[in-house]
Amino acid sequence: MASRRGFTLIELLIVVVIIGILATIAVPKFKATKGRAYAASLRGDLHNLATAEEAYFFQSASYTADTSRLAFRTTNGVLVTIVEATTGGWAAIATHPLSYPLTCALFNGNIATPPSPATAEGVITCQ
């Protein structure tokens, strides 16, 4: 009698179940990693904006809300909004559509109202 080589249906089902269990463990960890990456890009863009604003202030003796005047580019998908810019200070908020509801904010100098969630001058705060 010739022996057959191959896998039985039970063996294949066990392999599929094991792959499914591994996938259910890996997908949430992958989503959390993506969220941390978006948060890092928000913080990085606000840090770069702070550098660009200080360079502009050094040349013009005032801050600007016009990002085209700054040597500043955002990361792909990040929206940076300069809320207030005067001769005494500036404030900005950064968001990313895929990181919603995460919002980061930063302010420097004398401004009327710090943008939420920023509470301390010069410290990038995210919520």
Two structure tokens written together for 26: 């890996």
Query: What global pTM score does this model have?
Result: 0.78
Q: Which pLDDT score, from 0 to 100, does residue 33 have?
A: 85
CA–CA gap between residue 95 and residue 53 (Å, rounded): 19
Q: What is the mean pLDDT of residues 44-60?
A: 95
Residue 114, C-beta contacts closer than 8 angstroms, at least 6 positions apart: 91, 105, 107, 121
% of the chain residues with pLDDT over 90: 70
Q: Which pLDDT score, from 0 to 100, does residue 90 have?
A: 96
**Quick one: how far is CA 13 from the chain centroid?**
40
Q: What is the mean pLDDT of residues 70-84?
A: 92
Domain boundaries, the chain: 9-126
